[in-house]
């Protein structure tokens, strides 16, 4: 699959549910209560869809997102079904980490390759304020369990907010260095609960780097490719080494190398994270699978993928999965 800008689409980000056990201030609106389970893509429909994308359109990478994927009671079955498909070279999951201490090994045994874990602060009070749950120790235990279970490379995701966790970045990098995991700092996008306050809460990557200057002595650029993060191998003043990524959709977007297609739990197709949905594929898979109709829907959606993302987003992050 190629879009109108001739960018190859090889990467599916599949949101399994809008449900999440956290209520992060930048992600989940206060008015959004428990999501409905009706209309969700079933494990069999997911397997059929991914098989078609791999066999007919060159898909190689799948990331399970949400909400939080672990809120799906059939997550293990979904992982097993996708992992069984020849041609998938990378099956990953983004999670809040709350279930990893108990289930990391189960996910690995089912065929999951690696995880990204959200970690916005190592200050317990600030963690609770940002996520809505007092569970920092549980998430840290989950990160250790993911490492021990081989869900590697483990990557940490930190959304950086002005007046909130900017000062926490040095401690987070030192933690990542000790655990030998990559940490990625993410610029706030003007979508979701903080859209109206974006100007006041946004922190560009340049300010993040300044906040880290007191603990870092050297930055070496790593290749980016189609990854959303510009990564650096850094040396800390205490002699440790770390890998840091900056995801910069606002200060320096990476749209020209975007190879992603997003599908939500109800089958809506998002060619771009910040754009509107472009159709729904359930009409091509229910009540029975129609490959030609699915290809038409996917083609129409992908051809609508703009050269760059819009200035503001229309979706809620728990719907589309980031």
pLDDT of residue 171: 98
pLDDT at 184 over 80: yes
Tens digit of each residue's pLDDT (9 = 90 or more) over 144-169 = 999 999 999 999 999 999 999 999 99
pTM: 0.94
pLDDT at 309 over 80: no
> Average pLDDT for residues 278-291, to the nearest whole number?
94
pLDDT at 98 over 70: yes
Mean residue pLDDT of the chain comes to 91
Residue 280 in contact with residue 266, Cβ under 8 Å? yes
- Pick the range with the lowest mean pLDDT from 121-135, 136-150, 274-288: 274-288
pLDDT of residue 127: 98
Using pLDDT thresholds of 50, 70 and 90, give the confidence band for residue 180: very high
Number of H helices, E strands in the chain: 10, 11
pLDDT of residue 242: 97
Tell me the helix, strand and coil percentages in the chain, rounded to 5.
35, 20, 45
Instruction: List all residues 6 or more positions away from 125 whose beta carbon is below 8 Å from its beta carbon.
Output: none
In Å, what is the CA distance from 133 to each residue of 4, 54, 249, 321?
Answer: 43, 38, 27, 20
Distance, CA of 315 to CA of 322 (rounded, Å): 10
Greater confidence (15 vs 257) lies with 15
Helix (H, G, I), strand (E, B) or coil at 220: strand
Instruction: List all residues 6 or more positions away from 176 whose beta carbon is below 8 Å from its beta carbon.
Output: 156, 182, 183, 242, 243, 244
Tens digit of each residue's pLDDT (9 = 90 or more) over 57-79 = 999 999 999 999 999 999 999 99
Greater confidence (227 vs 84) lies with 84
pLDDT of residue 135: 97
- For 23, other C-beta atoms within 10 Å of its C-beta total 16
Output the DSSP codes for 148-191. HTT--S-EEEEEE-TTTTGGGHHHHHHHHHHHT-EEEEEEPPS-
Distance, CA of 161 to CA of 109 (rounded, Å): 36
pLDDT of residue 222: 87
Using pLDDT thresholds of 50, 70 and 90, give the confidence band for residue 315: low
pLDDT of residue 273: 81
Distance, CA of 305 to CA of 275 (rounded, Å): 8
Output the DSSP codes for 53-65. HHHHH---EEEEE
> Average pLDDT for residues 282-296, to the nearest whole number?
95
Give the residue extent of every domain in the chain. Answer: 11-320
pLDDT of residue 316: 64
Using pLDDT thresholds of 50, 70 and 90, give the confidence band for residue 38: low
Distance, CA of 174 to CA of 17 (rounded, Å): 33
pLDDT at 322 over 70: no
pLDDT of residue 149: 98
pLDDT at 114 over 60: yes
Angle at the Cα of 19 from the Cα atoms of 14 and 20, rounded to 5 degrees: 100
Distance, CA of 277 to CA of 299 (rounded, Å): 13
11-320 CATH fold: TIM Barrel (3.20.20)
Cross-sheet strand order for the sheet of 114-118: 216-221, 229-236, 241-247, 182-187, 155-160, 114-118, 90-95, 61-65, 11-15, 260-263, 269-270
């Amino acid at each position: 699959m190629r879009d109108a800008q001739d960018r190859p689409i090889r990467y599916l980000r599949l949101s399994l549910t809008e449900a999440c056990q956290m209520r992060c201030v930048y992600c989940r609106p206060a008015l959004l209560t428990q999501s409905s389970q009706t209309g969700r893509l079933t494990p069999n429909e997911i397997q059929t869809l991914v098989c078609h994308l791999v066999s007919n359109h060159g898909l190689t990478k799948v990331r399970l997102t949400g909400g939080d994927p672990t809120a799906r009671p059939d997550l293990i079955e979904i992982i097993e079904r996708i992992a069984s498909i020849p041609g998938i070279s990378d099956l990953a999951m983004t999670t809040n980490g709350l279930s990893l201490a108990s289930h990391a090994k189960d996910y690995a045994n089912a065929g999951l390759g690696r995880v990204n874990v959200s970690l916005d602060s190592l200050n317990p009070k600030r963690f609770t304020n940002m996520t809505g749950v007092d569970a920092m120790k549980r998430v840290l235990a989950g990160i250790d369990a993911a490492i021990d279970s081989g869900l590697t490379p483990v990557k940490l995701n930190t959304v950086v907010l002005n007046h909130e966790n900017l000062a926490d970045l040095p401690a987070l990098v030192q933690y990542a260095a000790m655990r030998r995991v990559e940490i990625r700092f993410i610029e706030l996008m003007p979508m979701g609960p903080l859209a109206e306050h974006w100007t006041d809460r946004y922190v560009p990557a340049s300010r993040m780097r300044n906040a880290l200057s007191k603990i870092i002595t050297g930055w070496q650029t790593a290749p980016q490719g189609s990854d959303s993060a510009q990564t650096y191998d850094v040396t800390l003043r205490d002699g440790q080494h770390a890998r840091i990524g900056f995801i910069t959709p606002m200060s320096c977007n990476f749209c020209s190398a975007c190879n992603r297609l997003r599908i939500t739990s109800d089958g809506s197709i998002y060619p771009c994270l910040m754009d509107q949905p472009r159709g729904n594929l359930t009409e091509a898979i229910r009540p029975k699978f129609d490959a030609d109709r699915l290809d038409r829907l996917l083609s129409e959606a992908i051809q609508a993928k703009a050269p760059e993302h819009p200035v503001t987003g229309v979706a809620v992050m728990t719907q589309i999965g980031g």
